[in-house]
Amino acid sequence: MSHSMEQLRLHARNVLMEVVRVYYEDFAYGVVTNRWNAEVREAIRQGRLLFLQDVKPEHRSEAEAVYDHVLEQIVAEYVANPDLIYIDAESRLSELENPPEFDNETLQKEKDEARRLADLLVQDLEMFKGTIEKGIQEGNLQQQMGKRFVSLHSYYLSRVNAALVNKEHYFEQALARLVRKIADQIGVDPQSDDYLQRIIAGDLTGSEAASIALEADKLSRDISDPYQQVIEQIDPEADPQMLYDIALAYMDLREYDLALRIFELYNKRDAYRKLRSSEPIAYCYAHQGDILRAINYLTDVMSLGFGDDDYLGVYYLLGYFYERIGKINDAIAAYYHVYRLVPAFRDVPVRLERLGESLT
């Protein structure tokens, strides 16, 4: 494949990764129940249009084929592993494909595009100027920025060659320029805050800034959080769906302990709710690094007495977790249980063949 088509392939994958990330909650929990959300379909359609808008007419049919091929790969990957969106979507972005060997002219164009996007990033961050000012003045910039580092950095990386962005640190440079500008405007000494110093010096990578911001934001919360007060007042019998939605929202924030606590309220005295929430609960345990607990929980859910069809997702997830810890025979057994019931369920045939099982 020519370098130009390699670039198209990388572009297609990055656009689709952005689409999937933007709609990750609907996507992740939609595929758990083996259905697609209309918003996801629309987002992918818009992504296709965005991808094709800069393609020359003579390359359009080939570009469409590339897009569809990459779409198929990404859909298969995320249908099979929806937890990847939460675990390491950002880090995986830079590992999707080896970037092509750009000639000097192409490389310069890529750099120019990255710088242009860095300027756009500054414009986007200007919207948060008040938040940044408050954080600088109060000495808690990391708490004030919170999760925004994650969304901005992920979005930025998804727009250009990820390897190039990581190498050149355009995100960090843009953020440093903006924070330095605001500090000057409001008369704050950059030396007054270690975190502020590191941002302005460009010493923080985007992922490190995101990690520190999330941790600081987490530490700044306490039980007086009004959301907590609201949760305590929700009647699980009167409005169970609200509890379920809040638990998913806390998963989004990576507050897995809180998510598990709310799922526990949701599950009280209701076997069906326990089944419905079993997959996201298992993901919470996995994200906390306790895959064995996730496996034990899913195994316990099997005793609820529902039919085999109701347990398709549970068996699939068991197979996936068994793969993760190297219990290949157990993984094969779980996947085969699904395959016997619904041969085309997600990517079960692919997984079985990859594990050395012949399905012919």
CATH of the domain at 306: 1.25.40.10
Q: Which CA distances in Å does 214 have to 27, 131, 146, 191, 282?
A: 23, 15, 5, 23, 22
Same domain, yes or no, for 337 and 302? yes
Q: Kindly tell me if the per-residue pLDDT of 58 is higher than 90.
A: no
pLDDT class for 61, splitting at 50, 70, 90?
A: confident
Residue 152, domain member (yes or no): yes
Number of domains in the chain: 3
Q: Kindly tell me if the per-residue pLDDT of 6 is higher than 50.
A: yes
DSSP state of 310: G
Distance CA 341, CA 343 (A): 6
Q: Kindly tell me if the per-residue pLDDT of 272 is higher than 60.
A: yes
pLDDT class for 182, splitting at 50, 70, 90?
A: confident
Higher local confidence (pLDDT), 329 or 104: 329
Residue 33, domain member (yes or no): yes
Same domain, yes or no, for 350 and 278? yes
Distance CA 156, CA 18 (A): 10
* Among 202, 182, 199, residue whose Cα is nearest residue 137: 182
Distance CA 251, CA 238 (A): 23
Residue 7, domain member (yes or no): yes
Distance CA 250, CA 257 (A): 9
Residue 141, domain member (yes or no): yes
For 29-45, the pLDDT digits (tens) are: 333 333 344 544 555 56
In this predicted structure, what is the pLDDT of residue 86? 37
Domain's final residue, options 93, 112, 146: 93
- Domain around 190: 104-220
pLDDT class for 11, splitting at 50, 70, 90?
A: low
Lowest mean pLDDT among 116-125, 153-162, 174-183: 153-162
Distance CA 133, CA 101 (A): 42
- The pLDDT of 83-109, averaged and rounded, is 47
Distance CA 6, CA 357 (A): 33
Same domain, yes or no, for 350 and 230? yes
Q: Which residues of 94-123 are buried (b: 16+ CB within 10 A; e: fewer)?
A: bebeebbebeeeeeeebbeebeebbeebee
Higher local confidence (pLDDT), 240 or 225: 240
- The pLDDT of 227-253, averaged and rounded, is 69
Domain's final residue, options 220, 249, 284: 220
In this predicted structure, what is the pLDDT of residue 297? 96
Same domain, yes or no, for 289 and 326? yes
Q: Which of 78-82, 167-171, 312-316 has the highest mean pLDDT?
A: 312-316
Q: Kindly tell me if the per-residue pLDDT of 281 is higher than 90.
A: yes
Higher local confidence (pLDDT), 250 or 228: 250
In this predicted structure, what is the pLDDT of residue 41? 54
Domain's final residue, options 155, 188, 220: 220
Same domain, yes or no, for 206 and 293? no
Q: Kindly tell me if the per-residue pLDDT of 114 is higher than 60.
A: yes
Same domain, yes or no, for 336 and 235? yes
- The pLDDT of 218-235, averaged and rounded, is 54
How many CA atoms, within 13 angstroms, populate the side-chain half-sphere of residue 214? 16
Q: Kindly tell me if the per-residue pLDDT of 118 is higher than 60.
A: yes
In this predicted structure, what is the pLDDT of residue 202? 74
| Percent of the chain predicted with pLDDT > 70 | 48
- Provide the whole-model pTM: 0.43
Residue 183, domain member (yes or no): yes
Same domain, yes or no, for 253 and 345? yes
Task: State the first-to-last Cα distance of the chain, in angstroms, to the nearest integer.
Answer: 33
Q: Kindly tell me if the per-residue pLDDT of 206 is higher than 60.
A: no
Query: 148-159 and 206-220 helices cross at what angle (nearest 10)?
Result: 160
In this predicted structure, what is the pLDDT of residue 212? 64
Residue 205, domain member (yes or no): yes
DSSP state of 147: T
pLDDT class for 84, splitting at 50, 70, 90?
A: very low
Under 8 Å between Cβ of 59 and 11: no
Higher local confidence (pLDDT), 305 or 59: 305
Same domain, yes or no, for 235 and 260? yes
In this predicted structure, what is the pLDDT of residue 256? 84
In this predicted structure, what is the pLDDT of residue 93? 36
Under 8 Å between Cβ of 332 and 339: no
- Reading phi first (left if > 0) and then psi (alpha if -120 to 50, else beta), residue 101 is in beta
In this predicted structure, what is the pLDDT of residue 184? 80
Same domain, yes or no, for 238 and 212? no
Distance CA 181, CA 243 (A): 43
Same domain, yes or no, for 114 and 142? yes
Same domain, yes or no, for 157 and 50? no
Q: Kindly tell me if the per-residue pLDDT of 249 is higher than 50.
A: yes
Average pLDDT, the chain: 68
Residue 359, domain member (yes or no): no
Same domain, yes or no, for 76 and 21? yes
Residue 340, domain member (yes or no): yes
